[in-house]
Amino acid sequence: MKPSLARLFLLIFLLLELVISVSLFLLYRGGVTQSRVDLPVEAGDVKRVLTTQILQLTDGIRDMAVHVAAHPQTAISFKNDSDRERMAQQENIRAFYPNVEIQLLPINSSIMNSYYSAPLATVHTRLLTGGKSASPDSSAPEHLTVSITQPVSDADNNLRGFVVVDKEFPELKTLFATLPLSGNYIELQQFNVNRAYNVLQKIGKESLKTESPNELIDLPGTTWRLAVWKTPLAPSPPLEGAQPFWLAWMLSSLALAGMIGGLYVALRRVLGDDMRTIVTLFTDIRHNRLRKSYRASLADFDESFGLLVQLGKMTVGKQKQTASEAALDHLSQVNNRRSFEEKQRELYKSTADGWTHSLLIMDIDNFKQVNDTFGHDAGDALIVQFGKALKDHLRSSDFIARLGGDEFCVIFPNTPLKKGQELADRLRASMPVVVELTPGVMHKLQWSGGLGEYHRDDASENMALSRADAALLDAKRNGRNLTRVQVAA
């Protein structure tokens, strides 16, 4: 059962109601000056409170371990047997659970041997004394640390490692220390490897522990149980003059219920607003965008929100940088072949709606001669200079790409073939006549071009590319340094 605000507030209400009830009962019995320990209390009431509280705590740590183990990034961090990836994921997880000790351990980790050998995915307490397990008869541990070992499997259900979660539960010790119990005795016990039980916590009159317990209560999902020793309760005296106390109990219970209910509604509304803000933030990160601000309703969340926003900015910036670098040719700094193919598919689809686009394929004349004469560094410099010249002398709406080697292309969006030819001629006229490849080495910049048009009757987007390529070959056969056009049949 998952923890929730409703169950938490219900538990608070029950605990406060128990305090009110016990206080009024003490007043009724005239025991205002007596210690709370002297008041007889039914073991069943304490037992129910203990069972509810323990299961609430253990369910929370189990759900946390399951969530971490099921996260795809956790399995990935084990996949390559990389300590760096695993430790990085471990630190990421700890950032979200600062009050919990979480470890990601591989299958063959020697650390696993030092953990209590409880079944996997079962909550237990590690009892260590000088590096050895505590004896079954030892006293309750000074620090109650709850542990769970959750297996991590990949998509093929292969075991990759373990998520180990440790968390201290001082509130459990506080609960045992503050709950009143007289005339009975209860122990929280843990099964150990010697098939005996260690005592984790105890409450009540320990002198009653002279034989087998009257009742054993197993706590599901843990290696724990509650052992109860009872004594017969003395008959209660007649409830004389109890009417004022009954009235006080009813009024105080109604007031407490109204106060707890109001707090629950208000806190749920505020937390709901903050959760929606977090969802909005992660949705924006997914779409590579961020808003000016993300405000937390609770001041306690301001620091956490600020951290999430900073991480979001770093993530969005990295995603944009990666996308930009993946789309560019590393040498010429224009779009690469993959970007060209994506743009071509996009424009080809729009021809069905009547749009017209032109395509110009370009080869640098005498490029091989440059490589053979001056070396590949000069050839690379020529490609860089050619790409820069294209970006300097074309429209911002034109799409420039390097297809490979010395072959470039320009897509003129929403441009008929005739207009595309005019733009190609204007480009040739505006390009620099001579470029410097290396210090002192000048080269006459000339290129051959083939022009085609995307047509709605084409069977595929590559047909325009084929026509432009054929026109380019025709330009090369006719002396180079010119542009040829091929019209769709």
Tally of structural domains, the chain: 3
How, if at all, do strands 483-485 and 447-454 pair? parallel
Helix, strand, coil share (%) of the chain residues, nearest 5 = 50, 20, 30
Q: How many CA atoms lie within 13 A of 263 on its CB side?
A: 13
In a domain, 34, yes or no: no
Q: What is the mean pLDDT of residues 118-126?
A: 76
pLDDT at 467: 92
Region for residue 56 given its phi and psi (left: phi exceeds 0; alpha: psi -120 to 50; beta: otherwise): alpha
Average pLDDT of the chain? Answer: 82
Give the angle subtended at the CA of 461 by the CAs of 417 and 351, to the nearest 5°. 60
Domain boundary among 284, 305, 327: 327
Residues 443 and 478 sit within 8 Å (Cβ to Cβ): no
For residue 31, pLDDT over 50 is answered with: no
Q: How many CA atoms lie within 13 A of 451 on its CB side?
A: 19
Domain of residue 193, CATH code:
3.30.450
205 and 274 share one domain: no
280 and 344 share one domain: no
Query: Three-state DSSP class for 243?
Result: helix
Say what percent of the chain tops pLDDT 70: 87
Q: What is the mean pLDDT of residues 356-371?
A: 92
Domain of residue 367, CATH code:
3.30.70.270
Amino acid at 63: D
In a domain, 146, yes or no: yes
Euclidean distance between CA atoms 70 and 83, whole angstroms: 19
In a domain, 27, yes or no: no
pLDDT in tens, 432-458: 999 888 888 889 999 999 999 998 888
Joined together, the tokens standing for residue 361 give 């394929």
Angle at which helices 43-70 and 5-28 pack, to 10 degrees?
160
Higher per-residue pLDDT: 106 or 361 = 361
282 and 361 share one domain: no
409 and 465 share one domain: yes
For residue 43, pLDDT over 70 is answered with: no
Q: Which residues are within 8 A (CB) of 403 and not within 5 positions of it... i.e. 6 or more apart?
A: 337, 340, 361, 409
Amino acid at 152: V
219 and 294 share one domain: no
Pick from 440, 397, 234, 429: which is nearest to 449 by CA? 429
Q: Which residues are within 8 A (CB) of 82 and not within 5 positions of it... i.e. 6 or more apart?
A: none
pLDDT in tens, 176-209: 888 877 778 888 888 876 667 888 888 888 888 8
Range of the domain at 446: 337-485
Sign of CA dihedral 454, 460, 462, 463: negative
Q: What is the mean pLDDT of residues 308-319?
A: 77
Band of pLDDT at residue 478, cut at 50, 70 and 90:
very high
Determine how many CB atoms are found less than 10 A away from the CB of residue 345.
12
For residue 23, pLDDT over 50 is answered with: yes
322 and 355 share one domain: no
pLDDT in tens, 216-231: 898 888 888 988 888 7
Distances in Å between the alpha carbon of 196 and those of 138, 140, 223, 224? 12, 15, 12, 12
Euclidean distance between CA atoms 416 and 312, whole angstroms: 43
For residue 36, pLDDT over 50 is answered with: no
409 and 478 share one domain: yes
Q: How many CA atoms lie within 13 A of 279 on its CB side?
A: 6
In a domain, 23, yes or no: no
For residue 105, pLDDT over 80 is answered with: yes
For residue 361, pLDDT over 90 is answered with: yes
In a domain, 353, yes or no: yes
Determine how many CB atoms are found less than 10 A away from the CB of residue 314.
11
Helix (H) or strand (E) segment spanning residue 279? helix 243-286
51 and 113 share one domain: yes
Euclidean distance between CA atoms 112 and 109, whole angstroms: 6
275 and 410 share one domain: no
100 and 140 share one domain: yes
Q: Which residues are within 8 A (CB) of 18 and not within 5 positions of it... i.e. 6 or more apart?
A: 45, 49
Which of the residue ranges 16-20, 173-177, 400-404 would you say has the lowest mean pLDDT?
173-177
Helix (H) or strand (E) segment spanning residue 410? strand 407-412
Residues 461 and 351 sit within 8 Å (Cβ to Cβ): no
278 and 391 share one domain: no
Q: What is the mean pLDDT of residues 317-334?
A: 75
Higher per-residue pLDDT: 386 or 47 = 386
In a domain, 227, yes or no: yes
Which of the residue ranges 9-13, 45-49, 129-133 would you say has the lowest mean pLDDT?
129-133
Provide the Cα torsion 422, 426, 429, 430; round to 10°: -170
Give me the residue label for tokens 């079954």.
Answer: 136
Joined together, the tokens standing for residue 444 give 């006459």
In a domain, 3, yes or no: no
Domain boundary among 327, 349, 384: 327
Joined together, the tokens standing for residue 232 give 């017969």
pLDDT in tens, 134-163: 444 445 666 678 888 888 887 788 888 888
Q: Among the residues of 287-396, which ranges form H helices? A: 302-327, 337-350, 367-374, 376-393
Domain boundary among 178, 199, 232: 232
Band of pLDDT at residue 264, cut at 50, 70 and 90:
confident
pLDDT at 470: 93
Strands (E), 413-482: 434-438, 441-444, 447-454
Give me the residue label for tokens 């000074």.
Answer: 142
pLDDT at 39: 39
Query: 44-53, 168-177, 255-264, 466-475 — which one is most confidently predicted on average?
Result: 466-475
346 and 397 share one domain: yes
Q: What is the DSSP string of 78-139?
A: HHT--HHHHHHHHHHHHHH-TTSEEEEEETT-GGGGGS--PPTT-BEE--EETTEEPPTTSP
pLDDT at 325: 63
Evaluate if pTM is beyond 0.85. Answer: no
In a domain, 28, yes or no: no
